[in-house]
Structure 1
Amino acid sequence: MATGDATPGDRTDVYGLGAVTYYTLTGQSPKEPDAGSRRGVDSESRPRASTLNPDVPGEFDEVLDTALSRDPQERYATPYEFKLATLFDSHGQASPAGSGGEGDGSGEARSEERGRPTGAGNEERAVADEAEGDPEDTDRGAIGGYPVTRRAALGVVGLGVVGAAGWAATERLGGSDPPDAVPMFQYDAGNTGYAPDVRGPRTDAEVVWTAESPPQVLQPIVAGGTIYLGGVDRVLAIDVADGSERWSVSDPDRATVDPEGFWSLPAVTEGQAHFVRTRRSNEGEVEATVHAFDADDGTALWQSESVTGNAPQPLIPTVTGDTVFFSAPNGIHGVDIADGTARVQLDDWPDPGLFQAFDDERLYFTSRDGLYALDRDGWTEQWSLEDSFGWGLTAVDDSVYVPSSTEEGPAVRAVSASNGETRWTVPLEDRTLGPIAVADGTLFAGTREGVLHAINTATGGTAWTKQLGQGTGPPAIVTGDTVYAGTLEEELFALDAADGSERWTMEVPDVSGLPAVVDGMLFVSGSEQLFAVSEP
């Protein structure tokens, strides 16, 4: 047997299933234990699945390490528990059932029943139960040379189904790009600003290179080893490794026709970089046009028909499904990512905010007179709130979070995504500077007074506050357990997301944008420079 146990048992099955899962994900078998040994594989001597297959979430390594532990008592108690870990722990901290504590590190309390999270619904439980098979069926067989019972073998099928479903859900929420990307503003179509599987500079930081950049870039967009920037007169693609230019596209008409025009920051997906170009036509109207470039070499692929308006404004495109959305003074527009043909035109709501937020069912946006939710099937209004709202907007977990102004002063508000009812309102000492981030049950918002607030999204209670400096910019990305934020005093901070304790701080001249964090690196724009920051 793989563990050398004298008699077959559940923990032996767990080891076998873990080994089969590891092989399925990596194409390699974990190192076999010595004959007759009661010990399994040392996790330190086995390559982690995420290093062999970049599509495997880093948290899933913890699930496999538990299943393949040397000590049988440290493994999941049953194949069912292993299955639950793939369902619920693969995006949080893995722990075998019965390990104690009030939670499992994933933000959900455990019930008394076989370690099942209390948040697991009947449907998820039914999937797991069906995959496990008949608990009385203990006929033994082997998969990939590892002995398992017949019910555990049936569980392999369940593991494949639920694992694929879990990763598919992650891709739907975070976009089709891998975790080592910031493919659009605030990472995803919900503007969460949260990248749970990304690691940034954590213990210390230093600038490793700088590169010329268009001025006042709101946020670098990073995908496929390339940084994409938009400016007044060109779009630019830069290599993440050394800051060298990969390609650029200039606008020859800018000086003579379009003194007020500019390129937006992009949204990158399906090998295309989508920018929105605004320019003033010869007739004096402001035109907004979506341009698609080949993300690798900058080849122009298509451009949409122009949308006209009466004033230029910064534009922030969002890609969801097969449509590129952007706001213009005369409404919200969507074009097909394949060829730029018009797909959506929502002109009943003039002067929408700079960007929108999406979930699976609705589109959310702010306007001069309130906050709106439209059904994505027919683009009909589902609800609205009349009030004064800021331009930050995040949709996640059936809630919409947005800065607002009340009679008492600035605040941040949580409303139900289903019906627009206010769930809580938290007063702030001053207005927020830009968007907010929501990560694993905590909202982060920075204010003009230089305070970063961490707020419990379930209750609206304050988790912690941190005075950083004059004018705290919004955290663009919360990666894993680290929050990155900057100030108007040209400082960057890395903070522990749990308690706000400082991990490092550094000066970056003329910081004017929000950071992007990708694959151990942080990128942020200065006045006309891009800074790349990593651990020493």
Structure 2
Amino acid sequence: MVPKRNRRRRGNGRPREGIQLRTPVPLAATERTGTVGTGTVRWRVHVGGLMRSAPYVTDGTVYVTGRGVCAVDAADGSIRWTNADAGGTGSPTVAGDTVYAAGWRELFALDAADGRPRWRRRMRWISRSRPVVANGLVHYINAGRYLRTVDAATGRRRWRAKYQGRGWGMESAPVLADGILYAASKDGIVWAFDPATGKVRWKEPVYSQSPATPLLHDGTLYVGGGLGPHVRALDAATGALRWHMMVDSVGSVGTTPAISGNTLYVGCQDHRLWALNATTGAIRWRVSTDGPIGSSPVVADGTVYFGSDDGHLWAISAENGRVRWKVKTGGPVMSSPVVADGVVYVGSGDGYLYAIEASPAPGGPLP
């Protein structure tokens, strides 16, 4: 199908080695609040769908999945092109001049300039995660039992690895860093693969159903518990457990953590964002919203940005959790935000992509 062009502009587990923590913290000592301002919206554009995917920003263009894959001008929000056949569920990624997106039983490679398909590959299952592209390979996961790798130029299969059993829950996205491809299975095992061959380097159970997409930082792999209130830190080279924190909550941690300095930020379905010591897992503080947090946080210039099912994008101090401002959208914010050139791009359940000033205070300068 030839892409549609739109020129209209519109503004459980057994004990393991490592540190085991469950630290009740008095509410008064950890809940952070402050004078809440309203952030400044530069523009918003309707791209349709529930907007669960995270945008991808590069070279002045925001690529996002709504009702299909859209390319949006980062400066003014005008839609450059839309491919209604591609995407639909998973977040897009860009490598060179090609956009890769997985969705309704197909994996697409699109021309970044006009959205025309370069190739498409059939899948038996729906994918809701972002593909990873590096060294001429595309690594992706869908609701089936395999981690799959195809040639980035042709879409032909290079290898596949069975890494999870049958089960239910959301799949996490693969993560590639330092020459290792990581994947967390729905049955609670974190795997490390050679990205060129699919050979298993190590695997480690984390005793969680549907673990979240991991974060790798400075030799440590941080994994949210998915359907449980757990956060674990693993040695990225060996999979050995470094620490395990069960936050003082009955909610589930289904988001990818963010890190700044020695603080780890984790969103939870208990309506709170938790700040943990990245070395030990000890709780530093927490901040409450008015809805579950299914949006992975991002840290930029001393501010943590994340969405909540209460319909807001939140901006809080990375140092102490004080709320700086929030922006109300027309639906739950399940999309993970992206910060680029002083702007936060985030999708909402109302079908709009928002561009919001990334200022610590409304109208204030960046630090």
The 2-side partners of 1:424 and 1:414 are apart by 5
- For 2:24, the equivalent position in structure 1 comes to none
The residue identity in structure 1 corresponding to 2:159 is: V
- For 2:178, the equivalent position in structure 1 comes to 360
Matches within 5 A, 1:387-466: 387-389=207-209, 390-404=211-225, 410-428=229-247, 429=249, 430-466=251-287
The 2-side partners of 1:340 and 1:230 are apart by 20
Give the one of 326, 347, 358 matched to 2:140.
326
Matches within 5 A, 1:518-529: 518-526=340-348, 527-529=350-352
The 2-side partners of 1:315 and 1:493 are apart by 23
Which SS does the other structure have where 2:290 is aligned? coil
The residue identity in structure 1 corresponding to 2:352 is: Q
Report the CA distance shift for 1:323/1:446 in structure 2 as closer, same or farther (over 3 A): same
After superposition, the C-alpha distances for 1:10-64 in whole angstroms (9 at most, x for unaligned) are xxxxxxxxxxxxxxxxxxxxxxxxxxxxxxxxxxxxxxxxxxxxxxxxxxxxxxx
Instruction: State the Cα distance separating 1:250 from its structure 2 match.
Output: 2.4
Runs (4+) of structure 1 exceeding 4 A deviation are none
Instruction: State the Cα distance separating 1:405 from its structure 2 match.
Output: 7.6
- For 1:212, the equivalent position in structure 2 comes to 46
Q: Quick check: 1:221–1:228 contact (8 Å CA) kept in 2?
A: yes
Matches within 5 A, 1:235-274: 235-251=69-85, 262-274=88-100
Which SS does the other structure have where 2:45 is aligned? strand
Matches within 5 A, 1:328-347: 328=142, 329-347=144-162
Unaligned runs of 5+ in 2: 1-36
Report the CA distance shift for 1:481/1:348 in structure 2 as closer, same or farther (over 3 A): closer
Instruction: State the Cα distance separating 1:204 from its structure 2 match.
Output: 6.7
- For 1:106, the equivalent position in structure 2 comes to none
Which SS does the other structure have where 2:225 is aligned? strand
- The TM-score with structure 2 as length reference comes to 0.77
- For 2:124, the equivalent position in structure 1 comes to 308
Q: Quick check: 1:523–1:532 contact (8 Å CA) kept in 2?
A: yes
Is 1:517 aligned to 2:332, yes or no?
Answer: no
The residue identity in structure 2 corresponding to 1:269 is: A
Unaligned runs of 5+ in 1: 1-202, 255-260, 279-287
- Higher share in helix: 1
Matches within 5 A, 1:156-175: none
Q: Quick check: 1:209–1:531 contact (8 Å CA) kept in 2?
A: yes
Report the CA distance shift for 1:386/1:466 in structure 2 as closer, same or farther (over 3 A): closer
Count of residue correspondences: 311
Alignment identity in percent? 27
- For 1:66, the equivalent position in structure 2 comes to none
- For 1:298, the equivalent position in structure 2 comes to 115
- For 1:79, the equivalent position in structure 2 comes to none
Instruction: State the Cα distance separating 1:249 from its structure 2 match.
Output: 1.5
Report the CA distance shift for 1:441/1:322 in structure 2 as closer, same or farther (over 3 A): farther
Is 1:482 aligned to 2:303, yes or no?
Answer: yes
Report the CA distance shift for 1:277/1:462 in structure 2 as closer, same or farther (over 3 A): closer
After superposition, the C-alpha distances for 1:74-130 in whole angstroms (9 at most, x for unaligned) are xxxxxxxxxxxxxxxxxxxxxxxxxxxxxxxxxxxxxxxxxxxxxxxxxxxxxxxxx
The 1-side partners of 2:304 and 2:96 are apart by 28
Which SS does the other structure have where 2:124 is aligned? strand
Q: Quick check: 1:445–1:452 contact (8 Å CA) kept in 2?
A: yes
The 2-side partners of 1:530 and 1:405 are apart by 26
Report the CA distance shift for 1:315/1:491 in structure 2 as closer, same or farther (over 3 A): closer
Which SS does the other structure have where 1:219 is aligned? coil
The residue identity in structure 2 corresponding to 1:354 is: S
The 1-side partners of 2:332 and 2:356 are apart by 13
Report the CA distance shift for 1:231/1:530 in structure 2 as closer, same or farther (over 3 A): closer
Is 1:532 aligned to 2:355, yes or no?
Answer: yes
Instruction: State the Cα distance separating 1:244 from its structure 2 match.
Output: 0.9
The 1-side partners of 2:294 and 2:191 are apart by 27
- The TM-score with structure 1 as length reference comes to 0.54
Q: Quick check: 1:448–1:472 contact (8 Å CA) kept in 2?
A: yes
The residue identity in structure 1 corresponding to 2:306 is: A
The residue identity in structure 2 corresponding to 1:384 is: E
The 2-side partners of 1:386 and 1:507 are apart by 36
Instruction: State the Cα distance separating 1:308 from its structure 2 match.
Output: 2.6
Instruction: State the Cα distance separating 1:331 from its structure 2 match.
Output: 0.5
Is 1:384 aligned to 2:204, yes or no?
Answer: yes
Q: Quick check: 1:331–1:350 contact (8 Å CA) kept in 2?
A: no
- Higher share in strand: 2
The residue identity in structure 1 corresponding to 2:308 is: T
The residue identity in structure 1 corresponding to 2:340 is: V
